[in-house]
Structure 1
C-alpha cells in the first residue's frame, strides 16, 4: 500500500479536528499521529522541530519535499489549494473565505477558548474569576450572533457550498455547551449546526483520534471536565 502524501499530527480538540474534517470530507488518505497532551508530546524536541509553537495540528506533505504546515487555518488553506476542494475559485469569493477564516482564528476560537479555560480548567483548580468568565462568555455570544447574521439566507457561511470556512468554524461553534454559551434565538446558526451534524464525513472526523462528546453537550460532563483539566 502506498504511503499517504499527508502525515497529520493532531489531537481531539476544536483546532485539532479542522484538518481531519477536510481530509475526511475530501476522501483523502492520510497518516495520523496522535499527540498526547498528557505526555506533553506537543512540547517534545522532535515535534517542535515541526511546529516551533508546540501546538497542534501540524501536517507534513510528503509529496512536496516533506513541506511542513502548522496553524489550523493555514493547514486548511494549504489542503484546499492542494486538492482544489472546498475553496471558491472566484477572486472576491476567495477573499471572503480568507476574511471569515481569519474571523474564526482571531475571534471565535480565542474567545470561546478562553470561556472554556476559565470555566472548565481554572475554576475547578480553585481559580474562579467571575469577571473573566462573564467577559469571554458574552463576547463568544456576540461573535455567534455575527455568524447567525451571516447565515441569513445561506446554507453555509459563504452561501450554498460547504467550504473550509465551515470546517474551521464548526468545531468551535458546535462546542457552545462546553463554553457554556447560549445559542438560544440564533435560528440560522442552529440550522447550520444541524446541517453539518448531518454530514457523515464531518461526524466521523470529530471522533478522530478519539471522540470527546462532552465538548458537544453529550457524555459525562464532570468526568470529561476532570480529564480535560488534567491535560494542563
Structure 2
C-alpha cells in the first residue's frame, strides 16, 4: 500500500461508525487518508480489506508510523487513538478510574446505542419482511438508551471528566443518523422536548470545529 499520511482509514461514505473515528482524528489533528468502501458491492469483504480486518466490516485503521499497526472496531480504534496520541488529554481523561468510566461509556455505545439504532434502521428500511414486534423492541431500546443518557446528563454537562471526551463523541454520529432519517419512534418524536439534557449535549457537540468539519465532508460526499 502506498500512503502519504500517517493513517489509512477503511470506511464508508454513510456509515456512522467510520465518521466517529474521523471526528477523533480531526480533534487530535492527525493526518489520515480515507478509503471509502462500497458496502453494496461487498468491498468490505474483499481480500484487500479482510487481510487487515477478518471481520469484513468498517472501519479499519492502519497506523503506518507504527509498523502498520492495524485496529478494527470503531471504539477500539478510538481508544487506541486517545491512549497513544492524546498526550494533552484534549478529548480524554487522566485518572485511572476516569479512564475506566470513559471505557464504560465506549462499551455502552458499542453494545447499546449502535446495534439498536442500526438494527431498527435495517428492519424499517431494508428488510423485505416487516416484523412489528421486532421493530417495537428496537424502538423501545432506543428510548431506553436515551433515558440512560438523560439520567446522567441532567446532572452534569458531559459524561466524564467535566469536559467533552471520546465518551461523548462516540454517541454523536448514530444520534445524527437516527435524527436525520427519522428512525426514532415516530414523526412526533422531539429530542429537545423528550430529552432536553441529551439535546443540549448533542447540540454542544455539533458546535465543535472538528465535528463541523467532519459533517461538512460527509455532506459533500453525499451530493
Query: Once the 2 structures are TM-superposed, how far is the Cα of residue 80 of structure 1 from its aligned partner?
Result: 0.4
Structure 1 portions without partners, runs of 5+: 214-218, 220-232
Q: Corresponding residue for 1:226?
A: none
Q: Which of the numbers 92, 103, 114 marks the counterpart of 1:109? A: 114
Q: Corresponding residue for 1:168?
A: 170
Q: Corresponding residue for 1:6?
A: 7
Q: Corresponding residue for 1:189?
A: 198
Contact 2:142/2:184, CA 8 A, preserved across alignment: no
TM-score by length of 1: 0.84
Please give the alpha-carbon distance, in whole angstroms, between the structure 2 residues aligned to 1:105 and 1:66.
25
Query: Once the 2 structures are TM-superposed, how far is the Cα of residue 88 of structure 1 from its aligned partner?
Result: 0.7
**Aligned to 1:175, what secondary structure does the other structure show?**
helix
- How many residues are paired up? 210
TM-score by length of 2: 0.87
Moved more, 158-167 or 28-37: 158-167
Contact 2:169/2:205, CA 8 A, preserved across alignment: no
Query: Once the 2 structures are TM-superposed, how far is the Cα of residue 25 of structure 1 from its aligned partner?
Result: 1.5
Q: Corresponding residue for 1:230?
A: none
Structure 2 portions without partners, runs of 5+: none
Q: Corresponding residue for 1:80?
A: 82
Q: Corresponding residue for 2:126?
A: 121
Q: Corresponding residue for 2:103?
A: 98
Moved more, 152-161 or 188-197: 152-161
Contact 2:93/2:161, CA 8 A, preserved across alignment: no
Deviations 1:17-56 (A, max 9, x none): 1110001111211111111113211010110001101000
- Pick closer, same or farther for the CA change 1:52–1:209 going to 2, 3 Å: farther
Contact 1:57/1:71, CA 8 A, preserved across alignment: yes
Q: Which of the numbers 202, 215, 221 marks the counterpart of 1:206? A: 215
Structural RMSD (CA): 1.9
**Aligned to 1:50, what secondary structure does the other structure show?**
coil
Please give the alpha-carbon distance, in whole angstroms, between the structure 1 residues aligned to 2:38 and 2:28.
26
Q: Corresponding residue for 2:22?
A: 20
**Aligned to 1:52, what secondary structure does the other structure show?**
coil
Query: Once the 2 structures are TM-superposed, how far is the Cα of residue 164 of structure 1 from its aligned partner?
Result: 1.0
Please give the alpha-carbon distance, in whole angstroms, between the structure 2 residues aligned to 1:186 and 1:13.
25
- Pick closer, same or farther for the CA change 1:212–1:121 going to 2, 3 Å: farther
Aligned runs of 1:36-55 on 2, under 5 Å?
Answer: 36-55=38-57
